[in-house]
Structure 1
């Protein structure tokens, strides 16, 4: 049953988001290639977070092995995150200009090798262990900055949102499995170093799959008709041109309020998640001394898996449902999720010793609500930033959210804990330190809430730039004029020559021939996340 396309209106803004590809836009081989790439990216993301949190699962053993206190133990994660965030802008810059496929292959191979090497460090070479963890961050930075942009170039609209949710399911699952695998490998082989020898094998294997896939063209799925010229490496002034290009990127990103505010909001989330992920198992161990550390680690691992999965699913579902009614809903999905996590975290800290069961359940709820924004934040970035600047935007968001978030929070919490630990009461000192996390989350709610004011305007501007082929400075003002074919891209009004079926798939009148990519007698139909091109037989 076919029905005429309708327009959903919010005040003066006409809004409609496409649900899927046009049925004729991709061949079966290209679709297969897209799903193979997605599968590989999800798998790599899984082992990426397993590797990142395996250390946390055996942190107590590592502290005893290298004879380090809480503050230095927190710096172990900080050393990884610092290199991760410093090198993210570099790989973001490269990811917008060169092959993302080979950047991922390099990155995964590099961090797998460094992780394996760190497992052979002797106890009197503490600094070497820290160095290897920092090098792991470099490899992971190369992957994390370009992976979401690959998904953006493979899928579109609600399909893109779904695939991003699938991609980010790997974060909670990988984090939880990291704790569990770390503990189980340590128990099975009698030493914590074996926990670091599990993920490198699968990391290396995953790179072979990437050798056989075809990388999508940037912006092709959105029919963006502009390309960014690559720097001329033979030009003696090439370094200057690179700096000039990067400066234009930053200037463009600074002009997007939604990007800035969601980045600050996500930074607050990263601060709290980093602190909780790193210190919660140790905190619950000090609160329940009769419970073995292995059991504590397994409980937290299961909570991280289930809570994270539930949170990503709730965030994705809420975004998809409410966005069809309120176009600015994504900002409020993030804000409300963070707001609901605050009382849960407070309760988990306050009742850790008196009622461990309630405390564990509160941690589960806190992790769930904090995870609601993982895929939504990236989805927002992808539809307010033009394709040729998405890797740079992603990398700078990583830089900001980590340098002020989970790069610093483990050390800050550890340092506060050491400062209050005058009577050798680690539970009391960690309690005081962890109360900082809900305070930071209050600011996260404010940032996400403010972004709702700008999100529609920024999304509309991005679509206009794509439709105009504005890939240069990115600072030109958008026009509200209609095209020659009577289609208002600014307000996303449908052409009289199009209609949708019951699933909101874009259809054509029977007397029209579809010709993707043809420049002759085209009708350009502009929507929120796609530009499809049709021949006009008339």
Structure 2
């Protein structure tokens, strides 16, 4: 129970940004390992710790399975589908009695745990390999996955730039730790904001309050029922009688409740009507059953009463799913589950024990306990007159989240591209700076080469001038000879 209560809100919060099927796979993996640990336990505390961890796996289903069913069920059969799902709880109890007794008797109690773990392995694998699940009101899986490489790339580029700027790796790690702390703080603030939205929702609060009172009685019945039956009616097999009534009534009642609400038109107002009516009539039958002195009269009336009170499973969870925005449904289911256990079946058993010690009469104790059903019926009756709106189709938050998720990766990508461009420009500038001395050297060498060629040019010019000067007398001589001949 401890693991269940602690893990429910965590799985519900993670469902907004992590693939729900993967969360279920993780939860079932933890469940499987914990069950194996139960089989390996060597004393009370070891098996107690393992049983506590088993609740973690159950928490993933409680928070995520019902919203998934609600998304995929036909509109006119939503409550029936939920009824089938919650019908598995009493069915599991019945099969567990048979399985545990048979395996424990022939092979030993440890093999009962190990057999459960083996049976769960295929479902663990399916949780990791099935197509990603998208819950209504949450970001699509492809967008969730797309943000991861962009963030990683941006972070790595920023770290590279900081390393270039001379920032030490230790400072970068400290900055990363600070960023992680900010992310955790944001998640906590988001969780508190969602919790506030639930607690100010009158329909949700009234529904859960009635559910708490209802579960207070059911929890005490399951714990003290056989002992009260043995004390009042001298039942020889009180465990089998109470267990059989609970299992059969639970299966039939849960299926019938979902089916009837669908036939009534599954609305929140009709769900409150069905809850208050079946709980009130069922309470009357259960109360009357403990007034009978005959065992047979008790069994008949108590079976009818339990059949009626178990009809609430589908409608009460339908209200939890449809009175809040789609994105809050996992948290709604988680808080509902946590509330009915913390304020319902967990304290009911010890409180009823204290009451019995005080009055020392099991019939009176059972009558007082059964009377608690009536406040539950009254609370749900109040819900009929509340202004209730089915918010299943309110997906504005989903669209905003999707758009934001789509825009943020593109912005991050632009930042990464801009950072890369700046890095390339910096590298180019560095390269050009490194090339400047080479250009200067080449210019100097060229100037030196040209300077070395200057004396040769001067020498050639001088020689040419000397040659021309030496030719002048010859030209004069030739001119004189020509004149003489003339």
TM-score (structure 1 length as normaliser) = 0.61
Secondary structure in structure 1 of the residue aligned to 2:372: helix
Paired residue for 1:343?
A: 284
Is the Cα contact below 8 Å between 1:175 and 1:304 reproduced in 2? no
After TM superposition, list the pairs within 5 Å mapping 1:198-213 onto structure 2.
Answer: 198-213=115-130
Q: For 1:179 and 1:437, locate their aligned partners in 2 and report how far apart those are by CA, in whole Å.
A: 26
Q: For 2:399 and 2:275, locate their aligned partners in 1 and report how far apart those are by CA, in whole Å.
A: 30
Is the Cα contact below 8 Å between 1:97 and 1:230 reproduced in 2? no
Deviation of residue 202 (structure 1)?
Answer: 2.0
After TM superposition, list the pairs within 5 Å mapping 1:19-34 onto structure 2.
Answer: none
Matched, 1:322 2:239: no
CA root-mean-square deviation? 3.3
Paired residue for 1:476?
A: none
Paired residue for 2:255?
A: 313
Q: For 2:132 and 2:326, locate their aligned partners in 1 and report how far apart those are by CA, in whole Å.
A: 14
Deviation of residue 116 (structure 1)?
Answer: 3.8
Matched, 1:169 2:87: yes
Q: For 2:379 and 2:30, locate their aligned partners in 1 and report how far apart those are by CA, in whole Å.
A: 36
Matched, 1:451 2:383: yes
Paired residue for 1:87?
A: 7
Q: For 2:354 and 2:113, locate their aligned partners in 1 and report how far apart those are by CA, in whole Å.
A: 26
Q: 1:270 and 1:455, CA in 2 relative to 1: closer, same or farther beyond 3 A?
A: farther
Paired residue for 2:481?
A: none
Q: For 1:257 and 1:369, locate their aligned partners in 2 and report how far apart those are by CA, in whole Å.
A: 26
Paired residue for 1:280?
A: 225
Is the Cα contact below 8 Å between 1:179 and 1:301 reproduced in 2? no
Is the Cα contact below 8 Å between 1:275 and 1:413 reproduced in 2? yes
Is the Cα contact below 8 Å between 1:176 and 1:304 reproduced in 2? no
Alignment gaps of 5+ in structure 2: 152-175, 402-486
Deviation of residue 330 (structure 1)?
Answer: 0.8
Alignment gaps of 5+ in structure 1: 1-80, 422-427, 473-538
Paired residue for 1:397?
A: 336
Q: For 2:297 and 2:112, locate their aligned partners in 1 and report how far apart those are by CA, in whole Å.
A: 30
Paired residue for 1:260?
A: 205
Q: 1:471 and 1:411, CA in 2 relative to 1: closer, same or farther beyond 3 A?
A: farther
Q: 1:243 and 1:340, CA in 2 relative to 1: closer, same or farther beyond 3 A?
A: same
Paired residue for 2:324?
A: 385
Q: For 1:329 and 1:434, locate their aligned partners in 2 and report how far apart those are by CA, in whole Å.
A: 31
Number of residue pairs aligned between Structure 1 and Structure 2: 370
Q: Which has the higher strand share?
A: 1
Q: For 2:201 and 2:386, locate their aligned partners in 1 and report how far apart those are by CA, in whole Å.
A: 8
Is the Cα contact below 8 Å between 2:282 and 2:309 reproduced in 1? yes
Paired residue for 1:251?
A: 196
Q: For 1:470 and 1:183, locate their aligned partners in 2 and report how far apart those are by CA, in whole Å.
A: 51
Matched, 1:218 2:160: no
Is the Cα contact below 8 Å between 1:271 and 1:404 reproduced in 2? yes
Corresponding residue to 1:376 among 270, 295, 315 = 315
Secondary structure in structure 1 of the residue aligned to 2:135: coil
Matched, 1:442 2:374: yes
Q: 1:467 and 1:145, CA in 2 relative to 1: closer, same or farther beyond 3 A?
A: closer
Deviation of residue 440 (structure 1)?
Answer: 2.3
Q: For 1:264 and 1:119, locate their aligned partners in 2 and report how far apart those are by CA, in whole Å.
A: 38
TM-score (structure 2 length as normaliser) = 0.67
Question: What stretches of structure 1 move > 6 A for 4+ residues in a row?
Answer: 229-233
Paired residue for 2:26?
A: 106
